[in-house]
Structure 1
């Protein structure tokens, strides 16, 4: 069954080869304090710089999931409170999670078709970090780099944390516009779930050290001390890191992937717009995601399309939360081939 779910989504077709190589090379038994693991960590970080254009002074850390990073950020980095800009369910979960740790947390919820009105933003001095859900998987929206640039210019003294769970590895991110970036590998990296990525800039590292939070399993100072010698604080998902390394070896530089996904998404959007009964979930193209497309319609129709797609060997992602009955989501991730996407477009064109 070919899956277009928004995550976990389709893995790369080369995954069986990578797994066989991991076994033959002994990586499945590698100690995370060994030279072989440290070399793997170091090379993976180098490849993130080479392929995704992560700046030299930004540090790559490994976590269990993107969700774990919510706790790490509030626990180890934020001094007073964070201010969250979001439009969907995952952004809402992030702010609610942060409030458990820092009750003074605040935020602004936007409509799916709304872009950030940076000129109209008024974020008080008490908030030392701005949290932005750059790509909201639940409602297929995104925040363009131009808005991050405007926020950076307006609030240069505040740290910026960016959720790119369903966009890192798919679109060209300007990492210098944020201090904290995080993602998971089961979306644009085309890998099985179980590994989170946390990328920290020098200002975020400095604030972490200044706060000095320690004593927890995932205290960031503890993680950073180990990462300085390319080790992890506790036993990591070594296989996941190896698979990420192999994917990074084989993929093109991010500007090429970005161009390909944008062209493919345009074909997909055009197909939906030309159908007689399906509609784009997000009408405003400026807030519409490049890597996840939301499609809406009457509940009966959405159910029928999903069932008929399965009969044709394709699984569409369900809508999320309150959008589940009247929408489905389509992943536009790099592991999905052009031929597979063309097959889906041909199927959807009949509606």
Structure 2
């Protein structure tokens, strides 16, 4: 069964080799205070910067999940309150989580077809961090790199934090446009769930030290203190970090992957546009995700499509939250092979 679910998603076919190598090299028993682990951490950070074009002075940190990063950002970076720009369920969850820690947290909810109007955007001085859900997995929308940069340029004194859970390692991101970026590895990285990635700029590190929040299990100051020596603040998912390292070594630089993903999405979009039965969940190409395609229809029809796909050996991702009955989602992630993608397109054309 080929899964096109947008997470946990299909892993790279080379994973079995990586796992066997990890066992034979003793990685599964590696101490996270050892030179073996510290070298692994340092090399993985170098690979992230080289392959994804992350600035040299940004720092790679490891967490348990993208969700954990919500708490880290809210407790260790935000001094007054955060302002959230979102369009779907995961952006709303980030907002709600931040509100638990700070009731002053506020937001603007975008329509799925509408880009944020930066010129008319007004964010009060009391908000010292702007939270942006760049790729909203639940409804297959995105915020373009250019808009993130415009927001940062309009509010240079505010921190910019960006959720790229379903896009990091799939499309090229402009890391210089924001201070905090995070993701999980079970989507575009094509790896098993259980590892979160947090990337912070010197400005974010300075803000963390300025706030001085400490004493918690996942206080950013504690994480950074350990990361300075290429260690982690708790016993980490060493296997997950090793798999990330091996995977990055085998992947091209992000601009090449970005090109493949965008071309595949064009094929997918054209296929849906020519269908008499299928409709794209997001009509505006400027707000439509490049890594997750949402397809909508009547509840009975959506159910029938998913069942027919399963008979052909393909699993579609269900719609999320309120969209579950009337939509399904297709992951356009790098781990999907050309043959698998062609099988998907053939099915959609014939259905």
Taking structure 2 as the reference length, what is the TM-score of the superposition? 1.00
Pairwise CA RMSD: 0.5
- 1:132 matched residue in structure 2: 132
Instruction: Find the residue that maps to 1:39 and give its secondary structure.
Output: helix
User: In 1, distance between residues paired with 2:319 and 2:185?
Assistant: 21
Is the counterpart of residue 84 in structure 1 residue 66 in structure 2? no
- 1:226 matched residue in structure 2: 226
> Does the aligned pair in 2 maintain the 1:275–1:350 contact within 8 Å?
no
Is the counterpart of residue 312 in structure 1 residue 302 in structure 2? no
User: In 1, distance between residues paired with 2:286 and 2:234?
Assistant: 41
- 1:42 matched residue in structure 2: 42
- 2:106 matched residue in structure 1: 106
User: In 1, distance between residues paired with 2:236 and 2:108?
Assistant: 35
Q: Which whole-Å deviations, capped at 9, do the CAs of 1:48-103 have from their partners, x for residues lacking one?
A: 01100110110000000000000000000000000000000000000000000011
Q: Which whole-Å deviations, capped at 9, do the CAs of 1:260-282 have from their partners, x for residues lacking one?
A: 00000000010011111110000
- 1:207 matched residue in structure 2: 207
- 1:22 matched residue in structure 2: 22
User: In 2, distance between residues paired with 1:149 and 1:198?
Assistant: 19
1:283 positional shift: 0.4
- 1:264 matched residue in structure 2: 264
- 1:253 matched residue in structure 2: 253
Instruction: Find the residue that maps to 2:171 and give its secondary structure.
Output: coil
User: In 1, distance between residues paired with 2:168 and 2:279?
Assistant: 26
Taking structure 1 as the reference length, what is the TM-score of the superposition? 1.00
> Does the aligned pair in 2 maintain the 1:162–1:181 contact within 8 Å?
yes
1:152 positional shift: 1.2
Instruction: Find the residue that maps to 1:232 and give its secondary structure.
Output: coil
User: In 2, distance between residues paired with 1:149 and 1:295?
Assistant: 29
1:338 positional shift: 1.5
User: In 1, distance between residues paired with 2:289 and 2:172?
Assistant: 13
Instruction: Find the residue that maps to 1:147 and give its secondary structure.
Output: helix
Provide the aligned length of Structure 1 versus Structure 2. 351
User: In 1, distance between residues paired with 2:277 and 2:234?
Assistant: 52
Kindly report structure 1 stretches of 4+ aligned residues shifted beyond 4 Å. none
Instruction: Find the residue that maps to 1:40 and give its secondary structure.
Output: helix
- 1:279 matched residue in structure 2: 279
Is the counterpart of residue 32 in structure 1 residue 48 in structure 2? no
1:244 positional shift: 0.2
Q: Which whole-Å deviations, capped at 9, do the CAs of 1:255-307 have from their partners, x for residues lacking one?
A: 00000000000000100111111100000000000000000011111000000
List runs of 5+ in structure 1 lacking aligned partners: none
User: In 2, distance between residues paired with 1:19 and 1:114?
Assistant: 43
Instruction: Find the residue that maps to 2:189 and give its secondary structure.
Output: coil
- 2:326 matched residue in structure 1: 326
Instruction: Find the residue that maps to 1:61 and give its secondary structure.
Output: strand
- 1:347 matched residue in structure 2: 347
Is the counterpart of residue 217 in structure 1 residue 213 in structure 2? no
1:253 positional shift: 0.1
Q: Which whole-Å deviations, capped at 9, do the CAs of 1:214-261 have from their partners, x for residues lacking one?
A: 111000000000000000001000000000000000000000000000
List runs of 5+ in structure 2 lacking aligned partners: none
1:329 positional shift: 0.2
- Greater Cα shift, 314-323 or 147-156: 147-156
Q: Which whole-Å deviations, capped at 9, do the CAs of 1:120-149 have from their partners, x for residues lacking one?
A: 100000000000000000000000011011
Q: Within 5 A, what are the aligned runs for 1:99-248?
A: 99-248=99-248
User: In 2, distance between residues paired with 1:213 and 1:152?
Assistant: 24
